[in-house]
Structure 1
Amino acid sequence: MTDLLVAGAGPTGLTLACDLARRGVEVRIVDRSAEFPTGSRGKGLSPRTLEVLDDLGVIDKTLASGVTHLPHRRYRGAEIISEVDPEAGREPTDDIPYPVGLLIPQWRVEQILRERLAGLGVTVEPASELTGLTQDTDGVTAAVGDTTIRARYLAACDGGRSTVRKLLGLTLRGETPDVQQMDVGDVEVDGLSRDAWHQWLTPTGGIMLCPLPGTRSFQVQAAGGEGFQQTFDRIAGVPGVRLHEPTWRSTYRVQVRMVDRLRAGRVFLAGDAAHVHPIAGGLGMNTGIQDAYNLGWKLGLVIKGQAGEGLLDTYEQERLPIAASLLNITSEVLTEILESIRHRGGGLDAGTTHDLSQLTLKYPWSRLSRQTVDHPGTPRAGDRAADGRIGGRRLFDLFRGPHFTLLGPPAAESGTSALVQAHGVENAQTLTLVRPDGYLGLIADPTDLSAVSRYLEDL
C-alpha cells in the first residue's frame, strides 16, 4: 500500500506530490496521457503562487523561465491605440517579494515541478488512466490501466473532466455564461515583436497574440470558428503578419462551476476537478496549486501519525469558500472586461484587481486560526504570513519546509520540537505560529507557550 495516489500530473497534482514527497510520504502520481503536454494552456502565475513555488524550492528556475510587466498593446488595424502595463508601479518589498504575476507557459511550470519531484525520488507514471475505485475504512483501491493500486488516500487532480469526480457521483454545479466560444493555441508569428501582448478587440470578436517566454511561439486566443490566420486577417487586417507552425490548439467556452464538497471519505478533489473558472484573471492553475498546498501539509501530518484524521476536514472547510469567492471574482473580472470592450473601447487591463494577486486570501473562519491576544492594525490569525527579515535572516527561508514556525521572544526557542522550528525575535509582542502553508495559525501572548502546545495537541 502506498500512502497517497495522485490522479493527474498537471500543476495541482505535481504540487501535491512534491509537498508530500519532501515530507517522506510515499506517493505515486499517475496520468492518463502517454506524453507530457507541450501546449501553453494556462500562462500566468500569481504572486501568491510564486510564494508557494519559493517554499517548494523552485522559485529561481521558475522566474528564469518567465517574464513580468509585459505591456498590453491594443490596436485598431495596424494603428497602436493604447499600451499599458496593468501592474506598473508594483515593486518588490521586504514583505511582498513577488508583487506581480509571472507570464510563463503551463507546460514549463509542469516541467519544473516534475524535475523537482524526480529529485525527491518520485516520477510521474504516464499512460496510466484511473478507471475505477472503491474505498473502505483503511484505504482506496484504484483500477489504473491494467493494474490495481492500493493507497491510504487518493487525490483527484485530473482536471475539469475528472474521472474520479464522476466515479464519486459528484457534479460541477454552476453555469455556462453566454459568452462567445474561443479558440486557443500556440503558433509561430512573423511580423510581430515579442515585447508586448498584442490585442485586437472589438464588440463582435477579437484576437490576441502573447509571446511565450523561452519559446519561439505565441499563444493565440481568438473568436472561434476559423483558422487562426483567417481570424487574424478578418479582425486585425494587418498585412505581413503570418501565423504558422501551430503546435497545439483547443477550444473553450467559459464555465463557472464547482462541486459542493472536496472530500468523499479518503478521496479529495483539487484544482479543475473541483472548480472551473472563467479564463479572465488566470486563476485556474493558481487556485489548483494552492488547493494542493493547503491539503499537502495536512495529509502529511495525518499519514505520519502526527495529527488526527479530523485535520483533513479543514481542507474542505478552508478551500471550498475560497473556490466560491474566486469564481465570483473571475466572473466579475470577465464581466468588467467585456463591458469595457463593448462600451468603452477598453481591453483586458479593465479587469485588473489586487484580488488576482491572491495575496489577500485568508482563513479567519477556520478552526485552525486561533487568536488569544489582539493588537489593532497587526496581522490576524488566518492571514498570509508576510516575508521580511529578523536578525538578518529572511522569514521565507525560515518558513520553508514541512514544519510549523514559531516566532516570539528569545525564550520561545524552547518551543522547538519535531513539528516546530522556533526562532527568537527581540522585543516580540506576540507568539506567532506560522502554518506549513504560510498562514498564521496562532497569535498568542508572548509568555504563553502553553497556547502553542494546546494548538498542536488539538491537531
Structure 2
Amino acid sequence: MFTESRFTVIAGAGPTGLTLARQLARHGVPYRIVEKSAQPFDGSRGKGLQPRTLEVLDDLGLLDGFLAAGGPYPELLAHLPGGGEHRFRLDEVHAPTPAVPWPNMLMLPQWRTGELLADGIPVEVGVGLTGIDPIDGGARVTLDTGEAVDAAYVVGADGGRSTVRKLAGIGFEGETHEEERLTIADVRLTGLDRDHWHVWPGEGRAFRLGLCPLPGGDWFQLTAPPSALSPAELVAAVDPSITVTAVGWTSEYRANMRMASRFRAGNVFLAGDAAHVHSPAGGQGLNTGIQDAYNLGWKIATGSAAVLDTYEEERLPVAAGVLGISTRLHRRHAEGADDAMRRDDPVLRQLSLNYRGATLADERRPRPGTVQAGDRAPDAPLAAGRIFDRLRGPHATLLAFDWESPLPELSVPVHHVSEAAGIYGTDGPTLLLIRPDNYVGCATHDVRDVLGYLERAGL
C-alpha cells in the first residue's frame, strides 16, 4: 500500500477533485486540494447524477445525503403554439432491481453536489498552480502564493481550461462550434408550477425556452438560445403571466467537445473536464469526472507505477466513448431531430461501462459468466444484507460462490455469497476479486490466480 510521505496535490475543487480527495482520505493518502476560485461554484450547470454515480456515492457513504437533497427528473411539459400542451419524459422511470437499486437519474444542482462532496474536505481556496517541475520520484509544484510543494503526484481536476494540462504539455484535441451556443441561468419566478420541466418550442423544430425546477429550493434552471434579452424578458416573451423575481448564476455554453491526448505525463494525471469536455446532452460530463477520480484514487494509494499506468488505459477509452455519445445527442438536438430530447439509451446510465480486456481485468474461466472481469460488480440480495454492503469501503473484496474448499489467509475480506450466483452468472465454485472501485478484477476457479492478482495490483 501507499508509503510515500509526500502529498498528492489536487488542482480543482469541483466534483472530480473533491471525489478524489475523499478517495485518498479513506485510503490514508496525504493530499492537498487547491482551488483557484475564491468562492465555491454557485450554479446549477451539471444537474444530473447517473445511476452508476449513485453507486459510487453509496460506496463513499454519502448517498443518503444526496438522495435527501435531490429529486427525480420531472415530466416535461411542452407549451405548444396555439395553446396546446404535450407531456413526455426524457426517459421512462425504471423500477429498482436486485442488481440495480438506483436505476434512475437524480436531479441535483451542481453547486449542491459540490457542497455535499466538500463537507469535511480541507480545500485551500483562492490558490492556483503556476509551475510543475519533475523531481526524483515526483513533482515540485509552485503555487501562486509563492509556496513550492514537493508532491508524489499531481492531479489536474481544474476544468476545461486546465492549467495543469497546459503545464504538463498535454494536447487537447477536438473542436468548438462557436455558432452553437446556449444561455443558461438560475432564476426564481412566480406563476409557474414546479411539477414539470417546462419547454416552449420555437418555429419548426427550433427550441425557444426551457425552465426546469431544481430540487432543494425555489430555483429554476433557464435554458434558451443566445439573445440580447435578459432572462426576465425571455420568460415574459413566452408567457407574460410568469414573473422572474431573481436571477442567480448565468453562463453561455459553447458547443465544445475535446479530449486530452493523454491522461498521464509522468507523475501528473488529468481527470474530469481537464481530460475531456462534453456537450451537456445526456448528462455525462460531471458523472464521467467523478468516476475518473473513483478509478484513480485507489491506484494512487497502491503507489505502484504499473497500476497507475492502467488509469489512462481504462479511462481514456471510456471518455472517448462517452464523448461520442454526448456529441451524437448534441448533433440530434442541433439538427432538430424529432426525438432530440430522448435520453433512453441505457448506456447513458453508465452501468454497462467496463474495462474488459485491460491489464487489470483478469478473466481466467474457460466459460466466463454473465459478469466478467472488467465489469461493474452488480448488487444482489444476501441472507443478511446485500452485496453492496460487503463492498462498501476502500478495500478490495473476494466473493466466493459455491466455494467449499479452505482458502488461505488473504489481505482482503472474503464473503461467501452463493445466493448471488444467479445475478453474477457463476458456474460451480468461483472466486471473483472485486477491486476497491467495485469492478471485477479477477474471475477464476483457482485461488492461485487471486493471490497473483493481489500481488500485481498492490492490494
* TM-score normalised to structure 1 length: 0.92
Task: Look up the match of 2:227.
Answer: 225
In structure 2, the CA distance between the partners of 1:437 and 1:393, relative to structure 1 (3 Å rule), is same
Q: Does residue 367 of structure 1 match 2:366?
A: no
Contact 1:46–1:102 (8 Å) recurs in 2: yes
Deviation of 1:52 (Å): 0.4
Whether the 8 Å contact between 1:223 and 1:231 is mirrored in structure 2 is no
- Map 1:99-178 onto structure 2 (within 5 A): 99-115=103-119, 118=120, 122-146=121-145, 147-177=147-177
Instruction: Tell me which of 326, 329, 332 is aligned to 1:330.
Output: 326
Measure, in 2, the Cα distance between the counterparts of 1:80 and 1:98.
34
Counterpart Cα distance in 1 of 2:136 and 2:285: 33
Give the aligned residue type for 1:252.
Y
Quote how far apart the aligned CAs of 1:94 are. 1.1
Counterparts of 2:403 and 2:340, CA distance in 1: 53
AA of the residue aligned to 2:87: E
Which ranges of structure 1 fall in alignment gaps of 5 or more residues? 303-307
Partner of 1:246: 247
SS at match of 1:34: coil
Say whether the 8 Å CA contact 1:184–1:249 is kept in structure 2. Answer: yes
2:387 corresponds to which letter in structure 1? L
- Candidates 387, 405, 410, aligned match of 2:379: 387
Mapped partners of 2:441, 2:53: distance in 1: 19
Q: CA deviation at 1:416?
A: 5.3
Corresponding residue of 1:435: 435
8 Å contact kept, 2:232–2:243: yes
Deviation at 1:414, TM superposition (A): 3.6
Write the deviation string for residues 51-105 of structure 1: whole angstroms up to 9, x where unpaired: 0000010000001111114111111257353112333240111110110000000
3-state SS of 1:197 partner: strand
Q: Cα–Cα, structure 1 residues 426 and 48, in superposed 2: closer, same or farther, change >3 Å?
A: closer
How far does residue 281 in structure 1 lie from its aligned partner after superposition? 0.7
Alpha-carbon distance in 1 for matches of 2:181, 2:128: 29
Does structure 2 conserve the Cα–Cα contact (< 8 Å) formed by 1:10 and 1:157?
yes
Task: Identify the match of residue 207 of structure 1 among 206, 209, 226.
Answer: 209
Whole-angstrom CA distance in 2 between matches of 1:45 and 1:69: 10
Aligned amino acid, residue 312 of structure 1: L
Q: CA contact under 8 A between 1:412 and 1:423: conserved in structure 2?
A: no
State the Cα distance separating 1:426 from its structure 2 match.
3.8
Code of the residue aligned with 1:372 in structure 2: it is: R
Distance 1:3 1:371 in 2: 35
- Structure 1 window deviating more from structure 2 (149-158 vs 374-383): it is 374-383
Q: By how many angstroms is 1:205 displaced?
A: 4.0
Structure 1 distance, partners of 2:185, 2:167, is: 31
> Offset at 1:333?
1.4
Query: Any idea what the Cα deviations from partners look like across 1:398-432, whole Å, max 9, x if unmatched?
Result: 111111111114557745533x1111234863111
Structure 1 residues 2 and 196 mapped into 2: Cα distance closer, same or farther (>3 Å)?
farther
Counterpart-to-counterpart distance in 1, 2:76 and 2:117: 29
Q: What SS does the corresponding residue of 1:176 show, helix, strand or coil?
A: strand
Residue type at the aligned position of 1:229? A
Pairs within 5 Å for 1:372-451? 372-375=364-367, 378-408=370-400, 409-411=402-404, 414-415=407-408, 417-418=410-411, 420-426=412-418, 429=428, 430-445=430-445, 448-451=446-449
- Structure 2 regions of 5+ residues with no counterpart? 422-427
| 431 and 181 in structure 1: CA distance in 2 versus 1, 3 angstrom threshold | same
Matches within 5 A, 1:236-275: 237-275=238-276
Give the one of 423, 431, 456 matched to 1:458.
Answer: 456
Cα displacement (A) at 1:229:
2.3
State the 1:143 CA deviation. Answer: 1.4
Residue 348 (str. 1) matches residue 344 (str. 2): no
Answer whether contact 2:329 2:340 (CA < 8 A) is retained: no
Asked whether the equivalents of residues 352 and 376 of structure 2 are also in contact (C-alpha less than 8 Å), the reply is yes
Structure 1 residues 13-22 or 377-386, which shifts more?
A: 377-386
Amino acid at match of 2:321: S
- Over 3 Å counting, the alpha-carbon distance change for 1:426 and 1:231 in structure 2 is closer
Aligned to 1:181, what secondary structure does the other structure show? strand
Shift of 1:149: 1.9
Change (3 A) 1:333 1:374: farther
Q: Which residue of 2 aligns with 1:26?
A: 30
2:282 matched to which residue of 1?
A: 281
Q: In the alignment, what sits opposite 1:305?
A: none
1:376 positional shift: 5.7
Contact map agreement 2:236 2:243 (CA 8 A) in 1: no
Q: Which residue of 2 aligns with 1:194?
A: 194
Q: 1:359: Cα distance to partner?
A: 0.6
Structure 2 SS opposite 1:392: coil
Q: Distance in 2 between matches of 1:27 and 1:415?
A: 35
Alpha-carbon spacing, 1:331–1:198, altered in 2? closer, same or farther (3 Å)? same
The aligned counterpart of 2:182 is 182
Change (3 A) 1:311 1:125: same
CA 1:402 to 1:377, structure 2 compared with 1: closer, same or farther past 3 Å?
A: closer
Contact in 2 for aligned 1:412/1:449 (Cα 8 Å): no
Q: Which of 36, 39, 43 lines up with 2:47 in the alignment?
A: 43
Query: Equivalent residues in 2 for 1:83-102 (5 A)?
Result: 83-102=87-106
Which AA in structure 2 matches 1:165? R
Which residue, out of 9, 13, 31, partners 1:9?
13
SS of residue paired to 1:362: coil
Q: Determine whether 1:63 maps to 2:59.
A: no
Contact 2:33 2:124 in 1 (8 A): yes
Equivalence for 2:425: none
SS at match of 1:255: strand
**Correspondence for 2:424:** none
TM-score computed with the length of structure 2 as normaliser: 0.92
Identity fraction in percent? 43
